[in-house]
Amino acid sequence: MTISEIKGESLQDVQALPDTRGIALDEVGVEGLRYPLLISDARGNKRETVATVAMSVSLADHVKGAHLSRFVDVLHTWRDRLSSQAVTLMADDLRQRMGCATARVALTFPYFLERLAPVTGIASFMDYTCTLTAAASDRGDEVVLAVKVPVTSVCPCSKAISDRGAHNQRGWVTIDARPHTPATGLWFDHLIDIAEAAGSSPVYALLKRPDERHVTMAGYDNPVFVEDMIRTVAGALNHDVRIAEYRIRVVNDESIHNHAAYAQIPWTLTATSRDSTDG
Amino acid sequence: MTISEIKGESLQDVQALPDTRGIALDEVGVEGLRYPLLISDARGNKRETVATVAMSVSLADHVKGAHLSRFVDVLHTWRDRLSSQAVTLMADDLRQRMGCATARVALTFPYFLERLAPVTGIASFMDYTCTLTAAASDRGDEVVLAVKVPVTSVCPCSKAISDRGAHNQRGWVTIDARPHTPATGLWFDHLIDIAEAAGSSPVYALLKRPDERHVTMAGYDNPVFVEDMIRTVAGALNHDVRIAEYRIRVVNDESIHNHAAYAQIPWTLTATSRDSTDG
Amino acid sequence: MTISEIKGESLQDVQALPDTRGIALDEVGVEGLRYPLLISDARGNKRETVATVAMSVSLADHVKGAHLSRFVDVLHTWRDRLSSQAVTLMADDLRQRMGCATARVALTFPYFLERLAPVTGIASFMDYTCTLTAAASDRGDEVVLAVKVPVTSVCPCSKAISDRGAHNQRGWVTIDARPHTPATGLWFDHLIDIAEAAGSSPVYALLKRPDERHVTMAGYDNPVFVEDMIRTVAGALNHDVRIAEYRIRVVNDESIHNHAAYAQIPWTLTATSRDSTDG
Amino acid sequence: MTISEIKGESLQDVQALPDTRGIALDEVGVEGLRYPLLISDARGNKRETVATVAMSVSLADHVKGAHLSRFVDVLHTWRDRLSSQAVTLMADDLRQRMGCATARVALTFPYFLERLAPVTGIASFMDYTCTLTAAASDRGDEVVLAVKVPVTSVCPCSKAISDRGAHNQRGWVTIDARPHTPATGLWFDHLIDIAEAAGSSPVYALLKRPDERHVTMAGYDNPVFVEDMIRTVAGALNHDVRIAEYRIRVVNDESIHNHAAYAQIPWTLTATSRDSTDG
């Protein structure tokens, strides 16, 4: 096989053909790609993890297609040095290699924190689903950190109207936060802490009986609706000077119903963002 | 276009080619097919529903492939007259049309029962996922009814060791039951009742405040582990003279943990089956 | 039990308590509720189907919670007379019963169309996932129709650079369309037709050999990227005078890769909407 | 807080209570637990990965419940030294700590292999879903290795009856293999190679145009049904002297249909097992 054949120089470049329909595309890309990554946290500690990756670029109206193999090329090059900063550089790299106006990268992965059981202090790992998203365009770069955090929630209504007991269930707090630019050291741990503090109690991988007693009573003493949880999270995010904008979604897998209860707040500027805008 | 072209008589029948590897196949078929069906219940009432369908046949070692399009042909023919009896006839029909030793059909669909809230009596529909399976072979026909039923479960340990409250969650009771042949009027409603009775309380689509108070306290007064639920179900099935064999699986979506608790019993003969075997 | 107890008049109304955090909520509701519904199509024909339902209301900043049981109450009342018009009336009803600024309803269900195989003309049902969404607020009502349609897509690049064959796969075309108000007879069938016409070929539940030959060659003669499919759909929607706004997403479950390729266009006004705005 | 309180000595041990229903349970345990693990491959190389874990024990008929927290305790202890051998020791450890007849552990995780594109040789990582299962009982230990491998498959019928092109799609080959005891160096890589060799072509994360041309034509020249793929895999496993027993399942996400085609072979002894049994 000749070098030319290996390079594919004789093969038609169909994607590079012109398109005459006059329709630009916001996003063209790949998704659902699982890849092993090394991600550095806010303190620079590297963690090996497995991410599900989506990458896309915008496509001008006169070009037929995007060269999707370059996405995986770029990912493979950057895979062992990713961080909040590096993922922005990777999006910039992608944008330049594709010669397009905008490039986006989203990495979703399980993130583990060692948690101590509240009474016995026994250690175990809790898993949180996190997403690190970066977009690069000629209007500048943008990063979003997202966390999906399980909590336990005790129903205030059920407790108030019953002589004993109260229904409770696993709930899910999802936060998307866009930090101010340049990045300000915001990392997933902080958002996870905010989410866990909003439930009736955190959820654990390992609880011994004294811990289970503690979690049961702490939850019963602190009943919350999805409406309460989302407002507590919004209050905390709203005054976080590192965050420019956020959105929140809280879901309860209701234990006495065959459906879920939920509350959500769309993308909202924080108080600090609004102040700076007013100023 | 000629009739011959429409019939495809000139097209090669690749599936009918010989295979020389000498390996017979237990199941070849289609799955994940959504289809609108009319299913009659034990009393003959027809219900329109949407099923996810799997159909398969065994394949002899000397034949290359099965003609999969005939599966959908057969399903389309039977789709408006299905019942516990008819699904067996459909499996027989499939077996004959495919000229094979064994044919299997599995229809999974949401099944709704009108339930009354326990205090106010307000009506709503609860959904249960049911599967009707039939197999036809020269050893005779066989039917299996399966139900997946949500319940609420209050943790006996959490209640016993805590001064107040008790963690609880949605649980799932899955029963597979093979009735004695010939079929004996066993239908999904009966299995659903057995499953719901094994939880701390049934789950509802619609509860007003007096109902929520009732469900909360009834559940708190009747705490059960997954081990308790599965044993209650096994006890009920074991003495049901209509059932020959069963298996059970119970899962709790633990409200204080990030994982589920489960218990399961593999296929087990009922007491009546064992007695008849002994006799 | 007294009437008062059944009505729950003595039970505290926790949701109605004041909230002092000053945070209004965009959406509070239920989701993941499966319910049997009767839906009328554009010609008034009723179909029984099973929907997965989400319903929500906005919540003012001074109220603690929404009474979620009323959602299911409203759904149960309307469940046997739903249509494009009726779902808007149901959202209005919900809004009034909840005393809130905005109410939303989203019904997702499998929708079946009888399709004839392209050569033999044999009939079978194809399933499409459709969503009917309505929102009611003091700014007026709004309806969105969404379809998710499977197609087959042959890769133009693979065909152009190979001496024989071309990789192809199942693709998914998702269209969300907001019709002009008042509603204009737009129904799912029309959007499904647009989506199917954009692939290399439609997908079928049942194909005999002459049909398979036809679909194979028709697809091979009409290769399309996700970029081509989305532009074809956008072109068709853009000039549809019944549609005010749309968004599109196309995904290919790539047969030679372990990930998907996708393209998407965010909410976009149609040419007729832009003309009327300009005017 | 006293040591006694931390140890929970005053708290009732509800699980240890007697049960009088006389029903032993095959499996009681936890599932759906995500945990970070270090797994050694056949050559002793350690890999950090994220597993979804299921662990269970059998429960005697006279005991009310299993102490589920001990499962996570055991997992946490073993999490950084897992391998084919160690997972058996972990199951033994679990069995002893729980004082039960049988203990089972199943670890499911994405497993990555660096693959070179077939013409350009460019490297990327392919992901395979693997499961390592161990069971310990007084009848001895048992290990099962399972892999789920994506392939591309070209339809032999479509190719034979069409003048040009052939429909093809992503397929999935799932193999469960029980090695002879004592363990024989069987590892996932070997099963993955067998699965990939059975398709029309392997699937890749990264293909340049010369590679895409190669994969397209290689696949077109090697069309296979699900029946062909499963027989090729069965033939390879049947003569593997390291394997005692296997089962196989192959699924095609049909590109011209709205459903999947599948074939499966239930647990089957290999030729070497049958020979040794005969002897």
- B58: contact with D, CB 8 A cutoff: no
CA–CA gap between residue C194 and residue B196 (Å, rounded) = 46
What global pTM score does this model have? 0.96
pLDDT for the residue D277: 61
Please choose, from the candidates D139, A74, C119, the residue with its C-alpha nearest in 3D space to the C-alpha of residue B11: C119
Q: Nearest-CA distance from D125 to chain A in Å?
A: 7
CA–CA gap between residue C142 and residue C88 (Å, rounded) = 7
Cβ–Cβ gap A161/B216 under 8 Å: yes
- D279 pLDDT more than 50: no
3-state secondary structure of A13: coil
Residue D140 — left, alpha, or beta (φ > 0 → left; ψ -120 to 50 → alpha)? left
3-state secondary structure of D154: strand
Q: Classify the C-alpha dihedral B103-B109-B113-B118 as positive or negative.
A: positive
- What digits encode the pLDDT tens for the residues D126-175? 999 999 999 999 888 999 999 999 999 999 999 999 999 999 999 999 99
**Cβ(A201)–Cβ(A222) under 8 Å?**
yes
b/e code D206-234 from CB counts within 10 Å (16+ = b): bbbbbbbbbbbbbbbeebbbbbbbbbbbb
Q: Classify the C-alpha dihedral B41-B46-B48-B53 as positive or negative.
A: positive
Please choose, from the candidates C90, C83, C89, the residue with its C-alpha nearest in 3D space to the C-alpha of residue C39: C83
- D4: contact with C, CB 8 A cutoff: no
- What digits encode the pLDDT tens for the residues D25-79? 999 999 999 999 998 877 778 888 999 999 999 999 999 999 999 999 999 999 9
- B87 pLDDT more than 60: yes
- C8: contact with A, CB 8 A cutoff: yes
- B263: contact with D, CB 8 A cutoff: yes
User: What distance lies between CA B195 and its chain's CA centroid?
Assistant: 13
**Cβ(C127)–Cβ(C157) under 8 Å?**
no
The helix (H) or strand (E) run that includes residue D47 is: strand D46-59
Length of chain A (residues): 279
Q: Nearest-CA distance from A22 to chain C in Å?
A: 9
- Report helix angle C188-198 to C226-238, nearest 10: 140
Residues 190 to 219 of C: which have CB under 8 A from any D CB?
A: 201, 203-205, 207, 209, 212-213, 215-217, 219
**Cβ(C107)–Cβ(C37) under 8 Å?**
yes
pLDDT band at B277 (very low <50, low <70, confident <90, very high): low
pLDDT band at C3 (very low <50, low <70, confident <90, very high): confident
- A245 pLDDT more than 60: yes
Give the side-chain half-sphere CA count within 13 A for A27: 23
Structure tokens at A195: 């989410």
Alpha-carbon distance values, B76 to B7, B50, C205, D223 (Å):
19, 13, 10, 29
**Cβ(A200)–Cβ(A153) under 8 Å?**
yes
CA–CA gap between residue D159 and residue D144 (Å, rounded) = 37
Neighbours of C146 (CB within 10 A): 20
- What digits encode the pLDDT tens for the residues C160-177? 999 999 999 999 999 999
Structure tokens at D170: 């992503």
Residues of D in contact with B258 (CB under 8 A): 33-34
Q: Nearest-CA distance from B98 to chain A in Å?
A: 38
Q: What CATH topology corresponds to D18-278?
A: Urate Oxidase (3.10.270)
Residues of C in contact with D173 (CB under 8 A): none
pLDDT for the residue D181: 75
CA–CA gap between residue C98 and residue C101 (Å, rounded) = 9
Please choose, from the candidates A142, A70, A145, the residue with its C-alpha nearest in 3D space to the C-alpha of residue A100: A70
Q: Which residues contact A4 (CB under 8 A, 6 or more apart)?
A: A10
User: What distance lies between CA C259 and its chain's CA centroid?
Assistant: 24
pLDDT for the residue A279: 43
Residues 115 to 144 of C: which have CB under 8 A from any A CB?
A: none
Where does C75-122 show beta strands of DSSP type E?
Answer: 102-116
Structure tokens at B121: 């009596």
**Cβ(B229)–Cβ(C31) under 8 Å?**
no
CA–CA gap between residue B90 and residue B73 (Å, rounded) = 11
- D161: contact with C, CB 8 A cutoff: yes
Alpha-carbon distance values, D32 to A208, A216, C21, D209 (Å):
19, 22, 37, 40
- What digits encode the pLDDT tens for the residues A98-149? 999 999 999 999 999 999 999 999 999 999 999 999 999 988 899 999 999 9
Quick one: average pLDDT of B215-239? 98
3-state secondary structure of C67: coil
Sole residue written with tokens 């106010």: B120
Please choose, from the candidates D152, D163, D160, D135, the residue with its C-alpha nearest in 3D space to the C-alpha of residue D250: D152
- C259: contact with A, CB 8 A cutoff: yes
- What digits encode the pLDDT tens for the residues D215-230? 999 999 999 999 999 9
pLDDT band at B209 (very low <50, low <70, confident <90, very high): very high
Neighbours of A213 (CB within 10 A): 23
Domain ranges of chain C: 18-278
Name beta bridge partners: B23.
none
Q: Nearest-CA distance from C140 to chain A in Å?
A: 20
Q: Which residues contact A240 (CB under 8 A, 6 or more apart)?
A: A186, A270, A272
Please choose, from the candidates D100, D107, D96, D111, the residue with its C-alpha nearest in 3D space to the C-alpha of residue D133: D107
- What digits encode the pLDDT tens for the residues C223-242? 999 999 999 999 999 999 99
Name beta bridge partners: D250.
D173, D263
- What digits encode the pLDDT tens for the residues C59-118? 999 999 999 999 999 999 999 988 888 999 999 999 999 999 999 999 999 999 999 999
Which chains touch A (3+ CB pairs under 8 A)? Answer: B, C, D
Cβ–Cβ gap D263/B25 under 8 Å: yes
Q: Backbone phi, then psi, for A95, in 5-degree steps?
A: -60, -45
Structure tokens at B20: 């020389």
Task: Give the whole-number percent of chain D exceeding pLDDT 90.
Answer: 84
- B279 pLDDT more than 90: no
